[in-house]
Amino acid sequence: MNVRRRATRTVTPEAARLPARVWAIGGGKGGIGKSFIAANVAATAARSGRQVLLIDADLGGANLHTCFGMPAGRGPNLSDFIEDRIQDLDKAAEETPIPGLRLIRGALGHAGTADTSHEQRTQLVQASRGLGADLVIFDLAAGMDRATLDFFLETDESMLVATPEPTSIENAYSFLRASFYRKLAHGLRDSPVRDLVREAMDQRNERGIRTPTDLIAEIERLEPAAAENLRKLISSFRPRLVVNQVRNREEVKLGFSIRSVCRKYFGLDVEYLGYVSYDDLVWRSIKERRPLVVAYPQSDSAIYIRQIVKKMLQP
C-alpha cells in the first residue's frame, strides 16, 4: 500500500469538506460478538438515513459479508488495497442489501493488517473518511496486535465489547491496558518521559509501576512539565463499553464495575453505553444471513442495539 499516492487519490476536495465520523469496534477476545454488533450498529445507522461504510478489518477471519447474505470472495477487498492491487479504497466498497450501507470486505485467510505500518493505518483511516459516507465503522480482529490497537486509537470513537465471562473481562482489561500504553507511547514519543513509559509497559519493571495510575504519579514526580501533556492525552482517550450476551441483572451491572475499575487503575473515563442480552434470535439471524435489526427488529436485543446507536450518535 503506497501511502503517499493513496492519500492524494482518495481524499477528494468534496470529501475533505464533509469528513465522515469513524468508529472502531474491538474487544481483544474472539467470538464475543464484535462483528455481530458492528453489522447491526451499521445497519441501524443506515436505516436511520445515514450513509454508512462498514470495514471488515479482521483480515484473518473476515466474515461480515456473510452477516448480510453476500457471497464470499468476489470483487476487490481491503487486502487488495493494502497489498496495492487496487489504487482506490472506493473500488473495494460494495453495496449491501441494506440501502445506505456499503461494505469493504476483508479477505478470508489473508496475512492481515498486522503487516502494515503505523503510517499506513493512519492513512487508511483518513482515506475512509473521504468515501462519501457519514459514518465509517471498523470491525476489528481479536487479539491486540499493533494494527488492531491503532485502529482502536486512531478512530474518532472506539467501542469495546465484552461479555460477562471472566475470560472476556480479562481480555477487555488487557486490551484497554495495551491501548492505553500505546496511546501514551505515541503521544509522548518526543517527550523526556518516553523511556519511562516504555519501562512501565513491562509489568515486572523495577520501578514498581504496576498500573497506569502509578505511571502518572511517577511522571508527575520526575517531570511535572510532561504531566500536563499526559493528562491531555488521557482525557482524549474515552473508549465506550458494550456488554454483550447478558443473561441476568447481575451481568448488566458488570459494565459499571468495569467502568469504576478503569477509573481507579487507569484514571480512564470509560462510558458504559449499554448492554445486549443473550438472545437465540441472534444466532438465528446469523443463520438467516440477515442482521438482527432487520430480521427481528422488535426483539429485545435489536431494541438495545438501537439505544446504543442513539447514544453513539449524540453529539
Q: Which three cell numbers stand for residue 293?
A: 435489526
Least Å from the CB of residue 54 to ligand ADP: 13
How many CB atoms within 10 Å of residue 84? 11
Looking at 11, 23, 35, 171, which residue binds ligand ADP (CB under 6 A)? 35
Q: Does residue 30 touch ligand ADP according to CB under 6 A?
A: yes
249-308 residues near ligand ADP, rule: CB under 6 A: 276, 278-279, 282-283, 286, 301
Contact 3, 115 (CB under 8 A): no
Pick from 127, 130, 137: which is nearest to 102 by CA? 137
* Amino acid of residue 140: L
- The site map against ligand ADP for 95-134 (x = CB under 6 A) is ----------------------------------------
Helix 212-222 and helix 224-235: axis angle, to 10°?
A: 150
Q: Which does 279 bind (CB under 5 to 8 A by kind): Mg ion, ligand ADP, none?
A: ligand ADP
Looking at 35, 44, 155, 285, which residue binds Mg ion (CB under 5 A)? 35
Please work out the total of residues on this chain that contact ligand ADP, with binding judged by CB under 6 A: 17
Rounded Cα gap, residues 38 and 178, in angstroms: 22
Least Å from the CB of residue 193 to ligand ADP: 35
- The site map against ligand ADP for 56-95 (x = CB under 6 A) is ----------------------------------------
Least Å from the CB of residue 139 to Mg ion: 6
Only one of the segments 57-65, 149-157, 259-267, 269-277 lies at the binding site for Mg ion (rule: CB under 5 A); that segment is 57-65
How many CB atoms within 10 Å of residue 166? 8
Q: Which three cell numbers stand for residue 154?
A: 486512531
Least Å from the CB of residue 257 to ligand ADP: 20
Least Å from the CB of residue 152 to ligand ADP: 14
Q: Which helix (H) or strand (E) holds 134?
A: none
Rounded Cα gap, residues 109 and 60, in angstroms: 5
224-263 residues near Mg ion, rule: CB under 5 A: none
- Specify the residue, 34 or 65, whose C-beta has the smaller distance to Mg ion: 34
Q: Which three cell numbers stand for residue 285?
A: 439471524
How many CB atoms within 10 Å of residue 99? 10
3-state helix, strand, coil in the chain (%, to 5): 50, 15, 35
Please work out the total of residues on this chain that contact Mg ion, with binding judged by CB under 5 A: 3
Residue nearest to ligand ADP (CB): 33
Rounded Cα gap, residues 99 and 95, in angstroms: 8
C-alpha dist (Å) from residue 275 to 50, 121, 142, 155, 295: 23, 30, 20, 22, 20
Evaluated on CA atoms 140, 117, 213, 237, the torsion sign reads negative
Rounded Cα gap, residues 196 and 182, in angstroms: 13
Least Å from the CB of residue 38 to ligand ADP: 7
Looking at 40, 113, 116, 245, which residue binds ligand ADP (CB under 6 A)? 245
Only one of the segments 31-39, 73-81, 199-207, 252-260 lies at the binding site for ligand ADP (rule: CB under 6 A); that segment is 31-39
Q: What angle do CA 189, 193, 199 make, to 5 degrees?
A: 90
**Which parts of this chain interact with Mg ion (CB under 5 A)?**
34-35, 58
Site of interaction with ligand ADP (CB under 6 A): 30-36, 142, 244-245, 276, 278-279, 282-283, 286, 301
